[in-house]
Amino acid sequence: MGVRSSVETAVRQQTKLAPAAIRGLEILALPTADLIGYICGEAEENPLLDVDFHHELFSCDPLPSCFEGKALEGSFGGCRRHGVEARAFDYSRIADACLIEKDMKTHLRAQMPSGVGSDVVVESVIDTLDEDGYFRGEVAAIAFECDVEEPDVRLVLDAVRSAEPAGVGATDLIDCLKLQVARLPSPHGRVAYALLDRFPHDFFKERPGSLARCLGVSRADVIAAMEAIRKCDPCPGRAFTKEAIAYTHPDIIIERREGKWSVSVFGATTCPLTLNESYLALLGSKVDDETREYLEGKKREAKNVLRNLDYRGRMLYRLGLYLLEKEYEFMNREGEGLVALSMRRVADAIGVHETTISRIVNLKSLQTPFGVYPLRMFFGSSLDCVAAEGACDEGSVASTVSSFDVKRMLSNLISEERREKPLSDQALADELVSRGVSISRRTVAKYRESLGIPSSPQRKHR
């Protein structure tokens, strides 16, 4: 048997994006809130870039004029003119506002009874609480670390579970709800506790009558107990969590002024970054080769950043114009008549790749005169729509209705149903079909669940 070896060559064509192009696509995907951080970061890294902090990107709602220096001075003067003397001011009125706010753990430490346990154990137990107030530690592990017995740790944990707010120190959601309903003074608290204890995961799915028979109480008691459970706080520790106020702005703005529609991109009218004239002047002077090379490189990087920001603004503007054209009825009818768009068709119309449209749309929003909407909403699924009772455009199955409009119709139908006889998913599907929407019972159920609406048996007993 002979052995032959051969060498084959093949030509393959591959397209690879340059790093600058990749960076441009990354900037295109940034929503306005993240764009601000990117701009500041680039200016920090590149001395040839200056940030205009007076640019609209960095704007937030201005303070009322009464908080400006001159206005404040006049305001206090006005108080004196009206006879309000300094000695008459009651400082106790602002005492509560000046109290230092406690966090959850400080609040709990202050409630621990003396002698409940050593400070080390108390600190260890409280430190294992997460921001929702749940106990995420292990009694055995804490006992080992603190060199105490497990009953000593449980004693401290019980003290935490007895503290305010109710529900803190729970190990899971059902335990948290139990801790809260156990403190209710009415008999409904006992029934609520029994529901959570015996039917922890499915009592809301059962009929109140059958639950009442199991517990030996009245149907009214069960309904009242279920309502008490609904009022419980599943995250009692969140009351102490301070969330930072986020100032956000929509990316595309479509507005109507004097009967004419206009499209603008927030922050794209002018560029928030400019080239530093002082460093540019250095390039025209006599500098050593190393400095010149450094400045030339930073100049190229700066121009790429400015080019990418301009590209982002132009792409968003073109998308805004396209949305205004294709969603004209939605704009005119203030939220009705949404047309489900295809990313491929939008890409063809704008002249970019479909994946570029996906980057543009991601995490961005559109402001209209009647509300702010995520751009993703305009690219939702659609259903066939036939002319029926004027619900859809005239014609055959050629027209479509967006999932956004179907959900709105579904929500309206459920809000108008008879409380004692709620519509089933099949009945809702039949009603939508009669209005010209081709939809199945399974799709109705999916849309209903996405809206957070219970099933018809659950709605009947609410």
How far is residue 71's CA from residue 446's CA, in Å, rounded to a whole number? 56
Write down the pLDDT at residue 215: 82
Check: pTM over 0.85? Answer yes or no. Answer: no
Write down the pLDDT at residue 10: 52
Write down the pLDDT at residue 70: 33
Q: Which residue has the higher pLDDT, 190 or 384?
A: 190
Write down the pLDDT at residue 419: 78
Instruction: Enumerate residues 6+ apart whose C-beta is below 8 A from 241.
Output: 104, 131
Q: Give φ, ψ of 116 to 5 degrees.
A: -70, -25
How far is residue 176's CA from residue 345's CA, in Å, rounded to a whole number? 51
Name the pLDDT band for 17 (thresholds 50, 70, 90).
low
Q: Residue 450 has which token pair? A: 């996405």
Q: Give per-residue pLDDT as tens, 395-451.
A: 333 345 667 778 878 888 888 888 778 888 888 888 888 877 788 888 888 888 877
Whether residue 224 contacts residue 217, with contact meaning beta carbons closer than 8 Å, is answered with no
Write down the pLDDT at residue 87: 38
Whether residue 290 contacts residue 3, with contact meaning beta carbons closer than 8 Å, is answered with no
Whether residue 83 contacts residue 90, with contact meaning beta carbons closer than 8 Å, is answered with no
Q: How far is CA 145 from CA 121, 125, 139, 160, 168, in A?
A: 9, 11, 10, 19, 23
Domain 381-462 has CATH 1.10.10.60: yes
Whether residue 177 contacts residue 196, with contact meaning beta carbons closer than 8 Å, is answered with yes
Range among 12-21, 141-150, 274-283, 294-303 rated most confident: 294-303
- Nearest of 247, 195, 222 to residue 56 by alpha carbon: 247
Whether residue 100 contacts residue 153, with contact meaning beta carbons closer than 8 Å, is answered with no
Write down the pLDDT at residue 14: 46
- Nearest of 378, 405, 411 to residue 392 by alpha carbon: 405
- The angle, 0 to 180 degrees and rounded to 10, between the axes of the packed helices 343-350 and 354-361 is 100
Name the pLDDT band for 179 (thresholds 50, 70, 90).
very high
Domain ranges of the chain: 19-59+249-378, 104-240, 381-462
- Nearest of 306, 307, 321 to residue 252 by alpha carbon: 321
How confident is the model over 90-118, as a mean pLDDT? 64
Write down the pLDDT at residue 8: 55
